[in-house]
């Protein structure tokens, strides 16, 4: 057996992104996700729109992701990698617009947990691809710093029956179950992915920092029409970026 053959099955590559994307939408290939068409813009420029391909909602509502579908025949340095970096920047700079646009996809489903997930968690970024181009096959460790990778290979036998080989490499935050967060000078902590550390499953009353327990209080605030979830800290911590971990059902704050 090798990477291009599984017994009587031979590798049968996707001819286009559209072919690949259509298969993902019409099957339950990504069993751990709700997979939705996501032709929604990620920016607000009148003459230049950047669109995602798919919306992935993890079925335990830990996270949601904007997914880019690619095929290995495309250039990594001139197409795939620049596009992923652009999406990453747009997520950071256009969060309210992106959240609003993707809520329009989810709200008709009347799935309260999915709506809350999108309202209170930033989107992750995912790359769905058959394989990385050979020259860049060792880029996993770089890509997973800011996106997850779903490898899906298609195989066909002489009777035109298909099987698929699927591998998922989670981004580093999901892999070690942590979320970036930011503490303001006013004593508030905003958390990028609260569901990753199970804050949607339990009402935590405190976090631990430097071996000290600090009480927190949940607050919903409306910023320019966008609902945001923040927490007020009863004790002062230096403003800046941190990571929040769930360790044995305790929230542990650590400096980046």
pLDDT tens readout for residues 154-172: 999 989 999 999 999 999 9
Count: domains in the chain: 2
Q: Is the pLDDT of residue 55 over 70?
A: yes
Q: Kindly state whether residues 32 and 12 are assigned to the same domain.
A: yes
Q: Which domain holds residue 238?
A: 177-255
Alpha-carbon distance values, 158 to 8, 10, 164 (Å): 8, 9, 15
Q: Compute the distance between CA of residue 206 and CA of residue 214 in angstroms, rounded to an integer.
A: 5
Q: Is the pLDDT of residue 133 over 60?
A: yes
Q: Kindly state whether residues 10 and 137 are assigned to the same domain.
A: yes
Which of 127, 155, 174 is the endpoint of a domain?
174
Q: Kindly state whether residues 55 and 124 are assigned to the same domain.
A: yes
Q: Helix (H, G, I), strand (E, B), or coil: what is residue 206?
A: strand
Q: Kindly state whether residues 69 and 151 are assigned to the same domain.
A: yes
List CB contacts of 155: < 8 A, sequence separation 6 or more: 5, 6, 9, 10, 11, 12, 162, 163, 164, 165
Answer for the pair 90, 65: CB distance below 8 angstroms, yes or no: no
Q: Which phi and psi (to 5°) does residue 196 adopt?
A: -60, -30
Q: Kindly state whether residues 164 and 196 are assigned to the same domain.
A: no
Which of 146, 174, 202 is the endpoint of a domain?
174
**195: exposed, middle or buried (C-beta count within 10 Å: 0-12, 13-18, 19+)?**
buried
Q: Compute the distance between CA of residue 155 and CA of residue 8 in angstroms, rounded to an integer.
A: 9
Q: Kindly state whether residues 71 and 142 are assigned to the same domain.
A: yes
pLDDT: which is higher, 156 or 50: 156
Q: Is the pLDDT of residue 1 over 50?
A: no
Q: Kindly state whether residues 154 and 187 are assigned to the same domain.
A: no
User: Residue 39 — pLDDT band, cuts 50, 70, 90?
Assistant: confident
First and final CA of the chain: distance in angstroms? 44
Considering 26-30, 105-109, 206-210, the range whose residues carry the highest mean pLDDT is: 206-210
Q: Kindly state whether residues 148 and 182 are assigned to the same domain.
A: no
pLDDT of residue 97: 86
| Percentage of the chain lying above the pLDDT 90 cut | 67
Q: Kindly state whether residues 160 and 92 are assigned to the same domain.
A: yes
pLDDT: which is higher, 72 or 207: 207
Q: Kindly state whether residues 150 and 230 are assigned to the same domain.
A: no
Q: Residues 139-153: pLDDT tens digits? A: 888 999 999 999 999
Provide the 8-state DSSP code for 241.
E
């Amino acid at each position: 057996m090798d990477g291009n053959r599984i017994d009587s099955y031979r590798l049968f590559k996707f001819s286009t992104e559209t072919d690949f994307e259509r298969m993902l939408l019409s099957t339950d290939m990504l069993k751990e996700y709700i997979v939705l068409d996501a032709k929604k813009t990620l920016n607000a420029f009148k003459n230049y729109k950047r669109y995602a391909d798919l919306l992935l909602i993890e079925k335990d509502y830990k996270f949601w992701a904007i997914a880019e579908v690619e095929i290995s025949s495309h250039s990594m340095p001139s197409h795939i990698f620049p596009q992923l970096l652009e999406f990453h920047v747009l997520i950071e700079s256009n969060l309210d617009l992106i959240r609003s646009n993707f809520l329009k996809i989810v709200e008709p489903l009347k799935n309260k947990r999915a709506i809350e997930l999108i309202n209170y968690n930033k989107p992750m970024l995912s790359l769905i691809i058959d394989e990385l181009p050979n020259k860049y096959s060792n880029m996993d460790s770089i890509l997973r710093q800011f996106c997850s990778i779903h490898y899906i290979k298609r195989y066909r036998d002489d009777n035109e029956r298909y099987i698929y080989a699927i591998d998922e490499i989670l981004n580093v935050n999901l892999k070690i179950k942590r979320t970036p967060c930011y503490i303001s000078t006013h004593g508030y902590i905003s958390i990028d992915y609260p569901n990753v550390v199970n804050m949607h499953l339990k009402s935590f009353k405190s976090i631990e920092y430097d071996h000290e327990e600090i009480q927190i209080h949940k607050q919903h605030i409306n910023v320019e029409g966008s609902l945001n979830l923040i927490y007020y800290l009863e004790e002062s911590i230096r403003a800046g970026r941190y990571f929040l971990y769930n360790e044995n059902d305790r929230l542990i704050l650590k400096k980046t």
